[in-house]
Chains A and B, each alone.
Chain A
Amino acid sequence: MDATITLIVNGKEKTVITDPRRPLLDVLREDLHLTGAKYGCGEGRCGACTVLMDGRRALSCDTPVAKADKKKITTIEGLADGDCLHPVQQAFLDEGAIQCGYCTPGMILTAVALLKDNPQPSDEQIVEWMNGNICRCNGYPKILKAIRRAAAQISEVKKL
């Protein structure tokens, strides 16, 4: 039986009538054509599908869309403020922390969720938090540098 689900995606209300068991990832990608969140494993073990749900990280491949009803969803497409990139996006560019880039949206959103709660994480805290996200190009060293850079930048902005 289909259900009516309302999602507030990147600030806009979207209503879909669909099977409530479908993964949020499928609904974002196939119904709303927001393909920034990626399929990597389908079991919540690689982080490629990460989105923010009410500001917290959520693995959208492992989240039935019914659980996202009336929730605020931020996908990578909604992270920048117009042409102005989020500091984490900018830091990934500045550090060249991209190889194939398929894990990048998930990495960025996972880091955004971390820095929101803990703007000055230690290296151990970054590693612990990010450990659910896989990069098969194994670009971890530059991703870590990018997150440190973003953290430093966010702290600096807050000081001003």
Chain B
Amino acid sequence: MIDDTLTKEMLASKCFEPNEELSSKIKLSRRTFVQMLGTGLLITVTQGVSLGQRVRSRSRQSITVAARLHINQDGTITVMTGKVEEGQGPRAQLTQAAAEELRVRVDQIRLVMADTDLVPDDGITAGSRTTPYTVPAVRRGAATARELLARLAAKQWKADISALNVHNGTITNWTTKQTITYADLAKSSDIAEAFKQTIPSDVTLTPVNQWEALGTSVPRPNSRDIVTGAHRYPSDIVRPNMLYGRILRPPSYGARLESIDLSEAEAMKDVVVVRDEQFVGCAAPSSFRAAQALKAVAKTASWKTISHPSSKDIFSYLKEHARKGGRSRPRTRGSVDKGLADASKVLSETYEVAYIQHTPMEPRAAVAEWKDGKLTVWVGVDWPQRAQRDLARTFQISTEQVRAVVPDMGGGFGGKHSAEAAEEAARLAKAAGRPVAVHWTRAEEFTWAYFRPAAVIECKGGLDAKGSLIAWDFTNINAGGAAIDTPYNIANTRILSARSNSPLRQGPYRCLAATANNFARESFMDELAKAAGADPLAFRLAHLDNPRIRTVLETVARHFDWPARRNKVTPELGVGLACGTEKNSVVAACVEVGIDRRKGEIKVHQVCEAFECGPIQNPANLLSQVQGCIIMGLGGALREEMQFENGKILNASFASYLVPRFKDVPKIDVHLINKTDMPSAGGGETPIIAIAPAIANAVFAATGIRIRSMPIRSALLKRL
């Protein structure tokens, strides 16, 4: 689950706070929208039904079959979902889900995603929720449709439904050899009536051992459009007569605009300038021209700045501003004070994690168009319905007057929960009376999007005389509670997620605080193993009951040849391991690192990772996700950190904020475990959490230097 507290904090900026109260007051309209889709497909969507779903009731969907899918007369099937595609594979996976239960080929499914006029609200695309929640929701809808279609055929044939078989979109009566296709049935008026039925929550789904579409490596359905450049990302959307907009940004965090002279920009040909209190923007026929206009107004602006902490002092700042009590009471087991008192050895250490940024390849982008009082936005955001609600509130119109469309976008990793660009574009478009595109620059994305939280994590552990861990005290300040509970079997624990006063705007990131918590926990477990005189693998296994974590840990150790390679460690060559669990999936990794003491360089030679998230729905995509998490994890582990001073980001570019590149890619061995006796969990996040601690542990094995700070490289440089 994503940390909703953080999401809310993050969204509490003036324009994007969640507004459930307002939404629930809007009288649900039963007005039916009729939309033409693609090649003349007629789709009827009852808007009120999709509006009826709220965040909390998402997993208990109460939509009709018609709101989820439509059988077209050409034999294809249109399936509708509120999920967005940002590269992690829901387009393929949800297509497979529908094909599986409808008993059709995947190429017969046409998936419509993330258009508030057409699709039901499936909640935010985040928190690895698509696999455990949306895939089953789509499967229930598809299975219900299949059942209804079979019933219609049985009625036509006056046959018993048990005599019918469905395959490839064709229903066959085995007794009479009669056949009828979904397309034929779609011509009858009975189908519209039948599809008004609400999708029940207890539909029988195809068991894993009978999967035909799920469990296979279906490629992303629109990949050909990607390699030909035909796909239109949010930043590629062009509307007739469209202008390009640029927004005035404060020179530092918290700065307030006191005065500004718009006249020079206003005098520029074809330029529209808008000021609404602190909002100043320019729109022009080209982005170059808009940037020139913005420059002309920016040079006249006078700002009142405020003091702001710098990244150098961030950890003491977060600690000083830690807030305890209230909702952040610790979770306890046994008595940690007694456990520590009884321990023969007590270790106490503090870990730190820097702020980092998602830096998706496509920065925030949106186009806004006003027509007859209705606002349409095309925007890169993770939850179209929330963008719709937020825009409705900002412009004081009803949600029905806002349509938010999310074309498959260029990356997110948890960083695109907020639709600032859509609001900015809509303000400019309203003033200009023309559609306006707002494309954030890389520097804007680095500065004005939000960050993965920094963390200070305080750990205390107590070992008894036999070297068993009997006390565990763990406090994360600022980063959040994801994966904060220890999976290890310890009699006395106290675990606390404390809030602080983050000077940077912070929010979700791939696996959020699980990376910080796992970094501290798995590093500290190594320190305790050392204190107990035990091998890191044996020490973990001795405290681990969870059979799934044991399996990945043992699997990865076997493939990596852990005992032999641990014996070959030198001051220049280290190996380390780590494991963890989050979002109902489990991961373990072994790494080998080379240390160049003279240059202070850490080179990761190899990452061997085992991962298990239940039954694998798309092996090729899961492999991409795990590989991507491993390499993305290397960035945060080794080099990435936001540097800031006096309210300014000092490294807001790819020249100074170093993300992984081809040269950083180590040898990667991924071992996916297909565990078929449980529901599938998401796989796009958890594989990231084992990387940083495994590297820190490997660095220690080689150098004897324990790095308790992410990123590891700069911390090591200071100590070599």
With a CB–CB cut-off of 8 A, which chain B residues contact A104?
A: 226-227
Q: Which of A26, A34, A105 contacts B286 (CB 8 A)?
A: A26
Closest Cβ neighbor of A109 among chain B residues: B229
Q: Are A98 and B654 in contact (CB under 8 A)?
A: no
Give 21 pairs: A residue, B residue, CB < 8 Å, sorted on A. A18-B286, A30-B286, A30-B287, A35-B235, A35-B236, A40-B361, A43-B654, A45-B655, A46-B654, A79-B228, A80-B228, A93-B223, A93-B224, A96-B217, A96-B219, A100-B411, A102-B362, A104-B226, A131-B661, A134-B659, A134-B661
CB-contacts of A105-127 with B (<8 A): 105, 108, 126-127
With a CB–CB cut-off of 8 A, which chain A residues contact B289?
A: 19
Closest Cβ neighbor of B85 among chain A residues: A100
Closest Cβ neighbor of A30 among chain B residues: B286
Q: Which of A41, A135, A137, A139 contacts B653 (CB 8 A)?
A: A41
Q: Are A105 and B229 in contact (CB under 8 A)?
A: yes
Q: Does B330 contact A (CB under 8 A)?
A: no
- How many Å from the CB of A159 to the closest CB on chain B? 25
Which of A80, A134, A136 lies at the interface centre, i.e. has the most chain B CB atoms within 10 A of its CB? A136
Digitize B58-92: 1 where CB-to-A-CB distance is under 8 Å, 0 elsewhere: 00000000000000000000000000001111000
Q: Are A134 and B288 in contact (CB under 8 A)?
A: no
- How many Å from the CB of B628 to the closest CB on chain A? 4
Q: Which of B224, B288, B632 contacts A26 (CB 8 A)?
A: B288
Q: What separation, in Å, do the CA atoms of A45 and B521 have in the docked complex?
A: 36
What is the interface of chain A mostly: helix, strand, loop, or mixed? Answer: loop
Q: Are A99 and B88 in contact (CB under 8 A)?
A: yes
Q: Are B228 and A138 in contact (CB under 8 A)?
A: no
Chain A binder among B105-113, B577-585, B662-670? B662-670
Q: Which of B217, B229, B655, B659 contacts A36 (CB 8 A)?
A: B229
- How many Å from the CB of B287 to the closest CB on chain A? 6
Q: Does A103 contact B (CB under 8 A)?
A: yes
Chain A residues within 8 Å of B, Cβ to Cβ: 18-19, 21-23, 26, 29-31, 33-43, 45-46, 48, 75-77, 79-80, 85, 89, 92-93, 96, 98-105, 108, 126-128, 130-131, 133-142, 144
With a CB–CB cut-off of 8 A, which chain A residues contact B393?
A: none
Q: Are B628 and A99 in contact (CB under 8 A)?
A: yes
With a CB–CB cut-off of 8 A, which chain A residues contact B227?
A: 76, 85, 89, 92-93, 98, 101, 104-105, 108
Digitize B204-235: 1 where CB-to-A-CB distance is under 8 Å, 0 elsewhere: 00000000000001011001101111111101
Additional A-B contacts beyond A131-B661, A133-B661, A144-B665 (13; CB < 8 A): A26-B286, A30-B286, A39-B363, A85-B224, A92-B223, A92-B227, A101-B226, A102-B362, A105-B227, A108-B227, A137-B632, A138-B631, A138-B632
With a CB–CB cut-off of 8 A, which chain B residues contact A128?
A: 663
With a CB–CB cut-off of 8 A, which chain B residues contact A139?
A: 624, 627-628
With a CB–CB cut-off of 8 A, which chain B residues contact A29?
A: 236
- How many Å from the CB of B362 to the closest CB on chain A? 5
- How many Å from the CB of A45 to the closest CB on chain B? 4
Q: Does B244 contact A (CB under 8 A)?
A: yes
- How many Å from the CB of A129 to the closest CB on chain B? 9
Known: A85-B228, A131-B662, A136-B411. A100 touches B653 (CB 8 A): no
- How many Å from the CB of B588 to the closest CB on chain A? 19
Q: What separation, in Å, do the CA atoms of A15 and B439 have in the docked complex?
A: 26
Q: Are A33 and B361 in contact (CB under 8 A)?
A: no
Chain B residues within 8 Å of A, Cβ to Cβ: 86-89, 217, 219-220, 223-224, 226-233, 235-236, 238, 244, 286-289, 358-363, 408-411, 413, 439, 441-443, 620-621, 624, 627-632, 635, 653-655, 659-663, 665, 668
Closest Cβ neighbor of B365 among chain A residues: A39
Q: What separation, in Å, do the CA atoms of A96 and B227 have in the docked complex?
A: 11
Q: Are B226 and A98 in contact (CB under 8 A)?
A: yes
Q: Are B624 and A127 in contact (CB under 8 A)?
A: no
With a CB–CB cut-off of 8 A, which chain B residues contact A40?
A: 361-362, 442
With a CB–CB cut-off of 8 A, which chain A residues contact B627?
A: 138-142
Closest Cβ neighbor of A128 among chain B residues: B663
Q: Are B662 and A144 in contact (CB under 8 A)?
A: yes
With a CB–CB cut-off of 8 A, which chain B residues contact A77?
A: 228-230
Closest Cβ neighbor of B667 among chain A residues: A141
Q: What separation, in Å, do the CA atoms of A146 and B287 have in the docked complex?
A: 35
Q: What separation, in Å, do the CA atoms of A33 and B227 have in the docked complex?
A: 17
Q: Are A137 and B628 in contact (CB under 8 A)?
A: yes
Known: A96-B624, A139-B624. A134 touches B228 (CB 8 A): no
Q: Are A140 and B286 in contact (CB under 8 A)?
A: no
Q: Are A100 and B410 in contact (CB under 8 A)?
A: yes
Q: Are A142 and B361 in contact (CB under 8 A)?
A: no
With a CB–CB cut-off of 8 A, which chain A residues contact B413?
A: 136
- How many Å from the CB of A154 to the closest CB on chain B? 16
Q: Are A38 and B228 in contact (CB under 8 A)?
A: no
Q: Are B219 and A48 in contact (CB under 8 A)?
A: no
Which of B659, B662, B663 lies at the interface centre, i.e. has the most chain A CB atoms within 10 A of its CB? B662
- How many Å from the CB of B635 to the closest CB on chain A? 8
- How many Å from the CB of B624 to the closest CB on chain A? 6
Closest Cβ neighbor of A41 among chain B residues: B442
Q: Are A39 and B235 in contact (CB under 8 A)?
A: yes
With a CB–CB cut-off of 8 A, which chain A residues contact B635?
A: 138
With a CB–CB cut-off of 8 A, which chain A residues contact B224?
A: 85, 93
- How many Å from the CB of A76 to the closest CB on chain B? 4
With a CB–CB cut-off of 8 A, which chain A residues contact B359?
A: 136
